[in-house]
Structure 1
Amino acid sequence: MTSREDEALAQAAVTALTAQLSLTPKPGLPDPSHRDHNTLRWSAKSLTPGLAAMAAAARRTGEPTPGLRAELGAIGRSTEHSVGLAGGGHRGALWTLGLLVAGAALNPGDVTATAKRIAAHPDKGAPRRPSRGSSMSAKYGAAGARGEARAGFPHVRRALEELTRSRGTGTPEPQSRLNALLTIMSTLQDTELLYTAGPLGLRHVQAGARGVLEAGGAGTVAGAEALAALGTDLHERSWSPRGSAGLLAGALFLDALPIAAVATGSRTAVSAQLRAAVLLHPPR
């Protein structure tokens, strides 16, 4: 049974995911102009029960144990099935947000480090058949989603740093979030891109993202022009940096957490702040 705290965490995570979906223009990624945008937004909402169950499992277990990792894996596979019935998508975001939600339920003052400890355990119930990501990781030595989690989500943390930096320079919020996405894209070993574009294609996308940032970022005229050119290029090549999108959702989730209150206040106060944040920015 989930508590109000668990439901608030799940709602905050889904709000972060729908905020990522609404961001535009995202090079190579679905945005409001995409034909499947409404379906993706609808299916994002179907993650809510599973994410709440993950938070509840973490809170009940109380420690990042192998048993918790196995339970999170089972909940995740069940949630994938529900998302598939609702239209599909979000597999990478579910992995990222599920671990971060569980980490927040266990230790809201140090979420990524706690998620790292959870991810360090193997999921003994995982299917034996290799996925695209694991195949590319084995072939090219890329960290992939599993490696990102076991390293404590370094790209999520870099995206948060870029959000803070961009906001500090007066960059509007949408462009600050785009700069955070580009920061992820510029260095992430995206296994989806490796699968569709190979190592040269991955380096091409990384260089394109760096080019936008070096031009001043999405909040400048030169940066916006470079971003539009990168978007056109990826669209023509049918390349999609999907791994970066899921990690941006993770960064937006952590950005919404009331860290100061978590460090000094009561669980009830933290839960109230989370629910208030969800009410102010509900999934649409």
Structure 2
Amino acid sequence: MPTTRSMDEALAQTAVRALISQAELTPKPGLADTRDLQARATGADLLALRWAAKALAPGFTAMAAAARRPGEPTRALREELGAIGRCAEWTMARADGGTAGGPTGSATGRLHHGALWVLGLLVAAAALTPGATPHDVTATARQLATHTDRGAPRRPSAGSQVSATYGAAGARGEARAAFPHVRRALDVLSRTRAAGATETEARLDALLTVMSTLQDTGPLYQAGPPALRRVQDGARGVLEAGGTATAPGAAALATLDAELRGAGIAPRGSAAVLAGALFLDALPPVAR
């Protein structure tokens, strides 16, 4: 019988692998991937992304352990998760060579700020509901997200400012709605695999499905509503062309990628959601 410590560590390692898998998925439109090992296009070094992801393992382990103690999604647990997350973000920034808070030019800012929020809640929810289905885990995460964190910094983040300006749900809105886009991505992964797509094609189609409807605060922050519409319309265009497993869909993906990279539009919120879906998709047997 595995110990609670080993269960917590298993959840943490699953979250880290989800982050790295999302980072290595190629070609992601407008986002850092394996083509950017030498920081040619986006200014992000994938090796730094991997290192920063691994630096989060102790934080995720602590979140899982914190969740098991009360055994229910209380406000006190939500505040403890917030405190752990802020410490983990600081550690991650040191590993990345950036500064806490995720500067847009660093690997931390390009990948982990939103993903830490998504995965932190899902790790805690999975620890609270061992053996639960992914749907039940997202429902528990919603209960956690409804609590306010009195220890959170008073200064508004870029994401919260964008949400207030444009009415976008943002990462917190997604969590309070039980992560509908994470669940949509999981459905696409299952459906496209069953249809014979490769794992890369299935994950790209899941990402594009998220991009097609998510109110991603990244493009909104970078260039306002026109940037978000370009992301959503382009993602829908790839899917309507048949998805990435088809020649027309692959061509539409290449066009979208070139346009987003050329305009400096990076749908990082969508990437964070995909990481959450990959985490739930790969939950260790002890957590399922």
TM-score clears 0.5:
yes
TM-score using structure 1 length = 0.90
Q: Which amino acid aligns with 2:76?
A: G
User: Which residue does the alignment assign to 1:247?
Assistant: 273
- SS class of match (1:25): coil
The partner residue of 2:116 within 79, 94, 101 is: 94
Q: Which amino acid aligns with 2:32?
A: P
User: Which residue does the alignment assign to 1:267?
Assistant: none
User: Which residue does the alignment assign to 2:28?
Assistant: 26
Q: Is the counterpart of residue 168 in structure 1 residue 194 in structure 2?
A: yes
- SS class of match (1:128): coil
Q: How does 1:34-53 map to 2 (within 5 A)?
A: 34=36, 35=39, 36-53=45-62
Unaligned 5+ runs, structure 1: 262-269, 275-284
- SS class of match (1:179): helix
Q: Do the aligned residues in 2 keep the contact of 1:2 with 1:53 (CA within 8 Å)?
A: no
Q: Is the counterpart of residue 79 in structure 1 residue 88 in structure 2?
A: yes
CA distance in 2, matches of 1:11, 1:257: 10
Please report how far the alpha carbon of residue 123 of structure 1 lies from its aligned counterpart in structure 2 after TM superposition.
Answer: 0.5
Q: Is the counterpart of residue 144 in structure 1 residue 170 in structure 2?
A: yes
User: Which residue does the alignment assign to 1:204?
Assistant: 230
CA distance in 1, matches of 2:51, 2:31: 17
Q: Is the counterpart of residue 7 in structure 1 residue 9 in structure 2?
A: yes
CA distance in 1, matches of 2:230, 2:253: 14
CA distance in 1, matches of 2:13, 2:144: 21
Q: Do the aligned residues in 2 keep the contact of 1:6 with 1:55 (CA within 8 Å)?
A: yes
Please report how far the alpha carbon of residue 168 of structure 1 lies from its aligned counterpart in structure 2 after TM superposition.
Answer: 1.3
- SS class of match (1:142): coil
CA distance in 2, matches of 1:171, 1:7: 31
Q: Do the aligned residues in 2 keep the contact of 1:50 with 1:75 (CA within 8 Å)?
A: yes
User: Which residue does the alignment assign to 1:281?
Assistant: none
- SS class of match (1:61): coil
Please report how far the alpha carbon of residue 2 of structure 1 lies from its aligned counterpart in structure 2 after TM superposition.
Answer: 7.0
Q: Which amino acid aligns with 1:202?
A: L
Please report how far the alpha carbon of residue 151 of structure 1 lies from its aligned counterpart in structure 2 after TM superposition.
Answer: 0.3
RMSD across aligned positions (CA): 1.3
Percentage identity across paired residues of the two chains: 65
CA distance in 1, matches of 2:62, 2:138: 19
CA distance in 1, matches of 2:206, 2:84: 29
Q: Which amino acid aligns with 1:41?
A: R
Q: Do the aligned residues in 2 keep the contact of 1:218 with 1:224 (CA within 8 Å)?
A: yes
CA distance in 2, matches of 1:70, 1:191: 24
User: Which residue does the alignment assign to 2:103?
Assistant: none
Q: How does 1:186-225 map to 2 (within 5 A)?
A: 186-225=212-251
CA distance in 2, matches of 1:2, 1:55: 9
Which string of whole-angstrom CA distances, capped at 9 and with x for unpartnered residues, describes residues 211-247 of structure 1? 0000000111110000000000001000000000011
Which string of whole-angstrom CA distances, capped at 9 and with x for unpartnered residues, describes residues 15-41 of structure 1? 111011110000010001112111111
- SS class of match (1:95): helix
- SS class of match (2:34): coil
CA distance in 1, matches of 2:244, 2:19: 20
User: Which residue does the alignment assign to 1:55?
Assistant: 64
Which string of whole-angstrom CA distances, capped at 9 and with x for unpartnered residues, describes residues 125-155 of structure 1? 0001010110011111110011000000000
